[in-house]
């Protein structure tokens, strides 16, 4: 790559060589459209800055850029890169609190069961991450004809190792905090029945925050099958994309247990129905509870709380109708959970 002049680095403020042609570094059209729709002129300004940020990453970290990777949030750009012969991943996105917590959580993590952070910058927010190979997701494994529901027990070690001591200098919201934010929004567009469940889940989440299940830790916060990748070199499953939420260790299970039920049903050759979803969720809980040393009703409580949060977020975005689709499962998890005396 040839250089013609020096420009100020977005990462360091220092003068660095500028490439003659940065058109290949432009913000992808879909990402630009999303951030402009979500964040207005600030999103457009960020999208305009992407070529300069990537150019600076090339110089500062001696990168060769590869293909853009699919998946993840619409506001993120994820690219395969080469760092002096070592494959890696560059991740940048419109900055928000989740991304700042992701950076902080990865900096604090020393677990071999999470992706390694090679380097990063906070302003602008850019992460240089390990490329896990082959990187097949657990979701892809569930889609295969090799999958059996009993295999969820293989993930217990990962679930237990994706938690850290609470940070002293980094906000870490709990499920109660996030549900309270939803409940206090003026002119809420949530269906009334869902809003009632939000208020009920706040009371239950508050008991977890109060330490009834032990002290809180810094959870990965988004452990579901598409964020769990197979590392062929270490022959183990590893986690990516942490969110850094606060809660007791058992809260790590909620998001894992209720995600991609329909995909698993289809891979098992079963028709998707409300009854089938309920039966599969109950089977997942039955498999995981003894491995975690926790009662099944407690695992269902984490499902109820996290599913209410997830469906509320979905209803607030462009996925209205989520409660109509998943309300039955929320009520099922609630009924199962309330068999536990809290």
Residue (of 158, 169, 178, 164) closest to 238 by Cα position: 158
* First-last CA distance in the chain: 63
pLDDT at 123: 83
Architecture (CATH level 2) of domain 3-131: 2-Layer Sandwich (3.30)
Q: Coil, strand or helix: which one is 292?
A: helix
Domain boundaries for CATH 3.90.1200.10 within the chain? 136-337
Task: Please state the pTM of the whole predicted model.
Answer: 0.89
DSSP line for 22-49? -GGGSPPHHHHHHHHHHHHHHHHHHHHH
Q: What are the phi and psi torsion angles at 299 (to 5°)?
A: -65, -40
Top-tier CATH class for 136-337:
alpha beta
Residue (of 20, 23, 39, 21) closest to 31 by Cα position: 39
Given a contact cutoff of 8 angstroms between Cβ atoms, the answer to whether 302 and 257 are in contact is yes
List Cβ<8 Å contacts ≥24 apart for 74-78: 74/30, 74/31, 74/34, 75/31, 75/34, 75/35, 75/38, 76/31, 77/27, 77/28, 77/31, 77/50
Domain boundaries for CATH 3.30.200.20 within the chain? 3-131
- For residue 335, give the H/E element and its range: helix 322-337
Q: How far is CA 61 from CA 5, 18, 84, 99, 184, in A?
A: 19, 14, 9, 20, 44
Task: Show pLDDT as tens, one digit a residue, over the chain (342 residues).
Answer: 333 344 454 444 554 444 444 456 899 999 999 999 989 999 999 999 999 999 999 999 999 999 988 766 788 999 999 998 999 999 998 988 888 999 999 999 989 999 999 999 988 899 999 999 999 999 999 999 889 999 999 998 898 889 999 988 888 999 999 999 999 988 788 999 999 999 999 999 998 887 777 789 999 999 999 999 999 999 999 999 999 999 998 998 999 999 999 999 999 999 999 999 999 999 999 999 999 889 999 999 999 999 999 999 999 887 667 999 999 999 999 999 988 655
List Cβ<8 Å contacts ≥24 apart for 77-83: 77/27, 77/28, 77/31, 77/50, 79/54, 80/131, 81/57, 81/128, 83/118, 83/128
């Amino acid at each position: 790559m040839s250089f013609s002049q020096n420009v100020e680095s977005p990462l360091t403020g220092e003068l660095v060589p500028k490439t003659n042609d940065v058109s290949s570094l432009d913000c992808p059209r879909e990402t630009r459209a999303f951030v402009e729709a979500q964040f207005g002129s600030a999103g457009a300004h960020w999208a305009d800055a992407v070529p300069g940020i990537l150019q600076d990453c090339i110089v500062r970290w001696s990168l060769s850029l590869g293909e853009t990777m699919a998946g993840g949030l619409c506001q993120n750009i994820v690219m395969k890169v080469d760092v002096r012969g070592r494959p890696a991943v560059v991740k940048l996105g419109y900055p928000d609190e989740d991304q700042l917590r992701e950076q902080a959580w990865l900096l604090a993590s020393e677990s071999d069961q999470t992706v390694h952070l090679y380097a990063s910058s906070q302003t602008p927010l850019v992460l240089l991450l390990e490329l896990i190979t082959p990187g097949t997701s657990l979701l892809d494994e569930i889609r295969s004809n090799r999958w059996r529901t009993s295999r969820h027990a293989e993930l217990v070690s990962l679930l237990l190792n994706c938690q850290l001591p609470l940070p002293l200098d980094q906000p870490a919201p709990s499920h109660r905090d996030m549900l309270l934010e939803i409940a206090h929004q003026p002119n809420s567009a949530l269906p009334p029945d869902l809003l009632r469940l939000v208020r009920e889940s706040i009371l239950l989440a508050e008991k977890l925050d109060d330490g009834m299940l032990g002290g809180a830790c810094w959870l990965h916060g988004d452990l579901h099958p598409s964020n769990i990748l197979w590392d062929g070199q270490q022959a183990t499953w590893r986690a990516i994309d942490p969110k850094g939420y606060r809660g007791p260790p058992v809260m790590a299970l909620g998001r894992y247990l209720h995600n991609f039920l329909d995909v698993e049903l289809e891979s098992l050759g079963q028709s998707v129905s409300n009854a089938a979803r309920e039966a599969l969720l109950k089977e997942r809980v039955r498999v995981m509870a003894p491995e975690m040393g926790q009662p099944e009703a407690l695992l269902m409580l984490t499902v109820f709380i996290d599913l209410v949060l997830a469906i509320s977020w979905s209803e607030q975005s462009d996925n209205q109708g989520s409660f109509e689709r998943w309300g039955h499962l929320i009520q099922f998890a609630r009924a199962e959970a309330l068999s536990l005396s809290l």
